[in-house]
Structure 1
Amino acid sequence: MSSGPAGQPSLVRTGAKAGAAFIGSVVKGGLLSLILGGGAFFYYLSQLQGPGNTAARAGGAGAVLALVTSPPLLVAVLLLLFVAVYVMLGVQQGRAKAMQHLVAARGEAVSERLGGAIAGRIEAMPRTHGTLQRAADWLSVDALSKQLAPVLGEGKAVRAVVGFVLNRLPLGDMLAEWQQGRAAHGEPMAAGEGAAQDPALRALLTRRINETLQEMAEPSSKPLYIALGAHAVLLGVGLWLVR
């Protein structure tokens, strides 16, 4: 991996910090899974022998049939699913925090380089009846990642950033806006290899990519709060059913 300009952390250091943030979030998710998910599940199982579950206390086939045909078993299954939910939330939060480190350290460079790479491919796109062919045919994560590799390095983090940007950028609207602007000023729509660079297109792409990356750099805790609330409500309903 290449190092960044003076005053910017190297990609190796940035990658190490991003990896540490990812691992830390996954570990937290695993702990929540064991403590909250597993704890609530086993506590609820211990309450299935309560006074409100006479058939279950009887044992044997009658107990199995009672649990299979009763809402308490459904609650137990749903509580068990929360063990996996907390792990997935930890992974999701880890990815967001890893991207946060990458954007904070290299966001401007990524925006400029990625904007220039996309602009270059757009300018070289063949036209059909005076319009650009579908951008998706020319813009791909693989192609752009390889083009940016000499500057930004290779790895899953760079590919993830490129994929995130391509999925979020309204390229169709931006291309239409760019074409209309050029047409309004009477500028020719040159195409193919060696086409003249358009500073306005590069500025537009760089700005929009930077805005998109800033969204990535703000991980949300809302999904975790929703999961905690739903988990608590489900446990409460289950305890009410078996009381």
Structure 2
Amino acid sequence: MSSEPASQPSLVRTGAKAGLAFAGSVIKGGLLGVILGGGVFVFYLSQLQGPGNPAARAGGFGAIVALFTSPPLMVAVLLFLFVGVYVMLGVAQGRARAMQHLVAARGEVVAQKLGGAIAGRIEAMPRTHGTLQRAADWLSVDALSKQLAPVLGEGKAARSVVSFVLNRLPMSEMLAEWQESRAAQGESAAGEDAAPDPALRALLTRRINETLQDMATPSRKPLYIALGAHVALLGVGLWLVN
């Protein structure tokens, strides 16, 4: 068993960097929500002219009726909701940034450890009428998270990584491919006599590493979609009030 590189960052340092990256993205999302979302909302309110619906000034249920009978007011409410949208986008970006630090520091080790753990469980799966039982019955997020605790630590972050990988890996296809290759070689596909398969471990390690890289790649597409929807909604609102 190979030891971890001496230059590999510690869990504490990696966690600190990931936490700072997460906090920075959340702060940026909050500022974007306040400045852009709140600024557009205030600007739109300044464009509302005229006496409006008299029920809106009555308060209570009358204001609610006015809200649903006045498209400009509905636009104002939707514009205000974009403050929360930008904050949520900041949180999502922060999670991706934090995972990026984790994958950069421990991605290869996590892929090897998790690949070995999954391979060991697959090789130990009992057979029912010559076929393996469902992988979901043997691949437990809790058990795999405990095995990865020395690498990822304990907590929701470790569970989220393991759960994400298990949900994204095409386990049925990989199991079928592995069974066929073992059968072609005349070897047992599972059970007590099944020897560790280096090919299975290499395949799992490669696919897990690819999955982690996808998980740790921040995407700006949701932000661009939100900006486009925000601009379009503001345009509709200005058209309604002018």
TM-score of the two chains, using structure 1 as the length reference:
0.90
Contact 2:23 2:94 (8 Å CA) reproduced? yes
Give the partner amino acid of 1:39.
Answer: G
| Offset, 1:189 | 2.2
Contact 1:56 1:67 (8 Å CA) reproduced? no
User: 1: distance between equivalents of 2:58 and 2:160?
Assistant: 52
Give the partner amino acid of 1:202.
Answer: R
In structure 1, the residue matched to 2:14 is 14
In structure 1, the residue matched to 2:228 is 229
Structure 1 runs not aligned, ≥5 long: none
Does structure 1 residue 148 correspond to structure 2 residue 141?
Answer: no
In structure 2, the residue matched to 1:132 is 132
- For the structure 1 residues 25 and 60, does the alpha-carbon distance in structure 2 shift closer, same or farther, using more than 3 Å as the test? closer
Does structure 1 residue 186 correspond to structure 2 residue 157?
Answer: no
The superposition leaves residues 29-74 of structure 1 with CA deviations (integer Å, 9 ceiling, x where unpaired) of 11111111112122212222x2xx4534897459956554121122
- For the structure 1 residues 241 and 132, does the alpha-carbon distance in structure 2 shift closer, same or farther, using more than 3 Å as the test? same
Structure 2 runs not aligned, ≥5 long: none
User: 1: distance between equivalents of 2:78 and 2:140?
Assistant: 39
In structure 1, the residue matched to 2:214 is 215
Alignment counterpart, residue 55 of structure 1, candidates 31, 52, 57:
52
User: 2: distance between equivalents of 1:172 and 1:59?
Assistant: 58
Contact 1:4 1:10 (8 Å CA) reproduced? no
Contact 2:99 2:215 (8 Å CA) reproduced? yes
Does structure 1 residue 28 correspond to structure 2 residue 21?
Answer: no
Contact 2:103 2:213 (8 Å CA) reproduced? yes
Give the partner amino acid of 1:123.
Answer: E
User: 2: distance between equivalents of 1:230 and 1:59?
Assistant: 27
Q: Counterpart of 1:106 in 2: which secondary structure? A: helix
- For the structure 1 residues 31 and 151, does the alpha-carbon distance in structure 2 shift closer, same or farther, using more than 3 Å as the test? closer
User: 1: distance between equivalents of 2:26 and 2:88?
Assistant: 8
How many residues are aligned here? 237
Q: How does 1:164-175 map to 2 (within 5 A)?
A: 164-175=164-175
Contact 1:41 1:80 (8 Å CA) reproduced? yes
In structure 2, the residue matched to 1:101 is 101
Give the partner amino acid of 1:235.
Answer: L
- For the structure 1 residues 181 and 57, does the alpha-carbon distance in structure 2 shift closer, same or farther, using more than 3 Å as the test? same
**60-69 or 104-113: which moved more?**
60-69
In structure 1, the residue matched to 2:113 is 113
User: 1: distance between equivalents of 2:106 and 2:228?
Assistant: 36
| Offset, 1:195 | 4.1
- For the structure 1 residues 195 and 34, does the alpha-carbon distance in structure 2 shift closer, same or farther, using more than 3 Å as the test? same
- For the structure 1 residues 44 and 4, does the alpha-carbon distance in structure 2 shift closer, same or farther, using more than 3 Å as the test? farther
- For the structure 1 residues 73 and 197, does the alpha-carbon distance in structure 2 shift closer, same or farther, using more than 3 Å as the test? same
Q: Counterpart of 2:196 in 1: which secondary structure? A: coil
| Offset, 1:76 | 1.3
In structure 2, the residue matched to 1:199 is 198
User: 2: distance between equivalents of 1:22 and 1:190?
Assistant: 42
| Offset, 1:217 | 2.2
Give the partner amino acid of 1:55.
Answer: G
| Offset, 1:151 | 4.0
User: 2: distance between equivalents of 1:108 and 1:84?
Assistant: 36
